[in-house]
Chains A and B, each alone.
Chain A
Amino acid sequence: MTPLEKLKYDVVVIGAGGAGLRAAVEARAAGLRVAIVCKSLFGKAHTVMAEGGAAASMGNVNEKDNWQVHFRDTMRGGKFLNHYRMAELHAKESPDRIWELEVWGALFDRTKEGKISQRNFGGHEYPRLAHVGDRTGLELIRTMQQRIVALQQQDAKESGNAESHIKVFAELTITEILKENGKIAGAYGYWRENGNEVLFEAPTVIVATGGVGKTFKITSNSWEGTGDGHALALKAGANLVDMEFLQFHPTGMVWPPSVRGILVTESVRGEGGILTNSLNERFMFKYIPEVFKDKYADNDAEADRWYLDQDNNRRPPELLPRDEVSRAINAEVKAGRGTEHGGVYLDVSKRIPADVIKKRLPSMWHQFYELAGVDITKEAMEVGPTCHYVMGGVEVEADTAAAVGVPGLFAAGEVAGGMHGSNRLGGNSLSDLLVFGRRAGMGAVEYAKKNPTATVSEKAIADAAARIEAPFSRAGGENSYSLHAELQEVTHNLVGIIRTGKEVEEAIEKIAAIRARSANVAVAGTRQFNPGFHLAFDLDNMLLVAESTAKSALLREESRGGHTRDDFPGMNSKWRQVNHISSFDGKDVNVKAQPLPPIPKELFDLFDIHELEKYMTPEEIAKGGSN
């Protein structure tokens, strides 16, 4: 047995996506020693998948844009469930975070004046998304990665050791966040390459592990999105907030299997793509809600005319808000009118000439052609809702990104909750990473200065080691691959895009049963790069996350943003005042309601009172903000 590798750092960052790297840069700038730990190779984090851009009210394209407008858009998008302070910080600071990337070598697309170009996106009042074609996430992660390298080069010059202040531990899984005397003391994990164990002793841990998509059957997330940070933080005593809110994008690919879950951009529908079921009906006409009837066409002819004359015709129903479209697709499939593979058809080929499709949707054409062998100029795509983003996450203090209740623990990026409320706007994720990645770094610096040392007890080490060894000692136990598949089936069917109380209750039972069996997961082979072994730990995390999601979903008896209850279809102002807080007692996840922090007057006053009336109770309106 290889001896335990014991390392001492000031900060351990778990996750090397945009948020983790930004946090590391900030901590290093203050002179701290930082370990960056990630499950994949350096630079492969899910951040690369972001396409559209990073929202920041720089006002390069429309001068009227400013942080107040961005704040308003964000709150509206989140249906006012957002943590107001996070949304405020985000709106105020994102321009600086984008500009700073440029100082580090990022090359965004430009305006005619040579400034960073900004594009329109759903929910944003003005063109606001800084972008590089449709690969903005890649630009962001590469810039951060290269910034880390630049800092390491500086360290090499100064100290002779490039890794004196920042070291990247790639392909290392953290299995536990360790505490001593109620405070963070470090983290424990193993190298995926050989299974050798590593102990990090550090007074601060920043989780920046991204999302939970792999809990679901159909997702746009990569294998890494297994909710590790959510679960690790939960087990370390932190809370998760509003885990019932998951963003399902209505059009993910469902077939061929090689591309299941991958996003089909909204522009396909914007350009004239129509949705049909297996009976060849354009079904969206049936799903126009009463409140939208005056804005959406109820017949083919008018919908078609809209593309030519938008002033005198109502919009095609395919362009209804994401949750409406997702709900409709879901209903069609449940009614047995879905395609063979459980989706519906999205077709542009019959409406737009081939050369126009290739010109307006180049990346989509490319994506389908290269990944699926489907020529979208000739055939229909099969699409269905795909799990895209989790709005819920670790409950944090807005200014420091410190996890509530666990001194020394911080969270930033998708793993942190609150910022996006019940629904995230496109483009707000990349800027969120940067703004709160930096703040988590600052928070860690401040904390580590006051709490410079951390020591992990022998007992904690022994327990963590035993947990890693356990799957090998259970001959003939459960197979982690099949348990994962079962879990995905449960979440997909019972806590997916449309939920009912009964189904969610059933899900809670089933998840508990899978969790009981997962305690008996056995792994064949050795510790050397063994994916079955790796999955065993991911599975643990996903089960906790799923439990938290299901239990929160059961409590929230309304439909809002990324949480739709068939048995409670409307939005209810009373529920807007409530966050759902998940905690873990060592055995079960418990969820309780907690009042939302009231919005202060100066932010309250940024809105039209009639708009707020749609979301807030008369008492809240009468109060007019908290101070």
Chain B
Amino acid sequence: MARKLNLRIWRGDATDGGLKNVEVEANEGEVVLDLIHRVQATQMGDLAVRWNCKAGKCGSCSMEINGKPRLACMTQVSSFPEGEEITITPLRAFPVIKDLVTDVSFNYRKAMEIPSYEHPKNLAPGEARMEQIDVERSQEFRKCIECFLCQDVCHVVRDHEENKKSFAGPRFFIRIAELDMHPLDMLKNRKQKAQEEHGLGMCNITKCCTEVCPEHIRITDNAIIPMKERVVDVKYDPVRWLGSKIRKREGIV
């Protein structure tokens, strides 16, 4: 039943820090967040960690476990072989604040840069009519719990601090896709902005965002690539461009 486990937990802050070994008891059925809480309650009262719902629905307990970006509340202890050490570090793409807590304000700044939904002016509340098949694509992206694991794993910013200025990241590409595919959104230039202002072209579709998404949103296939194709429609496809000038084709502009 209960077994002893060795954890290596990163402790420190912006100035310095390192991995600290700690032995903790693990019971059947527990997740990594349980272990962290036990360490907190019994050995390191001031160990900093973010968490909320503990049910994989709020996206707060994002960290890196054995080098992989994950939600600690969704990582079963039993998924690690007996005797293996578990290494827990903060997200490595964002500035560290303390221990397992990082400064994720980058994501909130980016959220502010994405133009918001624009409802049709003449459509009063309650008058909107949308077909289920027309809202489903955007609904997939609205499953996002903003754990920012995709932002963390994306090498564009993870490995290149300087790209943070010009790159919105996968979480906001799905936001752009959500709005561009929203049946009623009236804003016209999302595609151009995606390419010119939000750095869609920086993405080289290596799909790590999709791999780490705890909501299993198919970020690359259903949002980023379709957005890249939509950008081609308006920017790199002379035939389509001409067509859109001659007669307004749906989906373009």
Contact = CB atoms under 8 A, between A and B. Distances in A.
Do A and B touch directly, given a CB cutoff of 8 Å in the complex? Answer: yes
A117 B131 CA distance: 11
A372 interface: yes
A41 B143 contact: no
A522 to B, nearest CB: 10
B34 interface: yes
Contacts of A374: 29
Nearest to A372: B29
Q: Is the interface of B mostly helix, strand, loop or mixed?
A: loop
A529 B108 CA distance: 20
A105 B116 contact: yes
B73 A258 contact: yes
Given A42-B108, A162-B112, A529 B129 contact: no
Interface stretch (A132-140, A402-410, A444-452): A132-140
Contact of B53 (A48, A142, A193): A48
Interface stretch (B94-102, B155-163, B201-209): B94-102
B58 A44 contact: yes
Question: Which of A43, A135, A525, A529 neighbours the largest number of chain B CB atoms within 10 Å of its CB?
Answer: A529
A523 B45 contact: yes
Contacts of A482: 41
Most-contacted residue by chain B among A44, A142, A222, A481 (CB, 10 A): A44
Contact of B146 (A43, A135, A371): A43
Interface in B83-141: 97-99, 101, 104, 108, 111-112, 115-117, 119, 123, 125-126, 128-132, 135, 138-139
B143 A96 contact: no
Given A104-B117, A105-B117, A367-B55, A114 B130 contact: yes
Nearest to A39: B52
A371 B45 contact: no
Nearest to B74: A370
B25 to A, nearest CB: 12
A531 B33 contact: no
Interface string A117-149: 100000000000000110100110010001001
Interface in A3-62: 40-44, 46, 48-49, 58
Interface string B211-242: 00000000000000000000000000000000
Contacts, number: 173
Interface string A512-528: 00000000000111101
Contact of B45 (A146, A152, A525): A525
A149 B116 contact: yes
B133 to A, nearest CB: 9
Contacts of A132: 139, 142
Given A114-B130, A162-B112, A103 B125 contact: yes
B197 interface: no
A525 B123 CA distance: 56
Given A40-B52, A367-B55, A531-B40, A525 B46 contact: yes
Interface string B32-73: 011000001100011111111111111110000000000001
Contacts of A146: 116-117
A113 B127 CA distance: 12
Interface in A84-123: 95-96, 99-100, 102-105, 107, 109-110, 113-115, 117
Contacts of A44: 52-53, 58-60, 146
7 contacts: A42-B108, A102-B126, A142-B144, A146-B116, A223-B51, A259-B55, A523-B46
The 10 A-B residue pairs with the shortest CB-CB distance in the complex, in nearest-first order: A256-B29, A525-B46, A105-B117, A114-B129, A150-B116, A99-B125, A529-B48, A532-B45, A99-B126, A529-B98
